[in-house]
Amino acid sequence: MKIGVDYYNTITRLPELFKLINSILAVKECEIIIVTAVAKKEHDPEGKLYRARVEKDLQEKNIYYDQIIVVEFTEPKEVPYLKLEVCQKYDIEYFFDDRNDVCTLLQESGIIAAKV
């Protein structure tokens, strides 16, 4: 089973909860994929600096994950579609996010999504 989790305003809002949830899911051999969106910036092509900050934060908080996928957007309204593409590409079945528009689009596309 593959579980997708948003980082900003999801894990960052409830780090202790996701530390527990991710640890339990890892024991159950679920794959945890952090899917996070960042605005495109010239000084950070492909979100590499952002990815490094996310990795550091997750390691410091001892939050388990299998991989981090950073999607870049120009307009915030692109984010739900970018996250849907990732979910479809990686066969993510469940997703946690803080945005209603993301959860709604994922649910309409057959992915179980929970708003945090």
pLDDT digits (tens, 9 = 90+) for 60-96: 999 999 999 999 999 999 999 999 999 999 999 999 9
Query: Which amino acid, 3?
Result: I
Q: What is the pLDDT of residue 41?
A: 84
pLDDT of 98 strictly over 80 = yes
Q: Are 7 and 98 in contact (CB under 8 A)?
A: no
For the domain 2-115, what is the CATH superfamily, name and number? HAD superfamily/HAD-like (3.40.50.1000)
- pTM, two decimals, is 0.93
- Give me 116's structure tokens: 């945090």
Given pLDDT bands bounded at 50, 70 and 90, which one contains residue 44? Answer: confident
Average pLDDT, the chain: 95
Residue boundaries of the structural domains of the chain: 2-115
Residue where the block lists tokens 């999801």:
10
For residue 60, the model assigns a pLDDT of 96
Q: How far is CA 2 from CA 25, 38, 47, in A?
A: 10, 22, 23
Phi first, then psi: what are they for 70, rounded to 5°? -105, 125
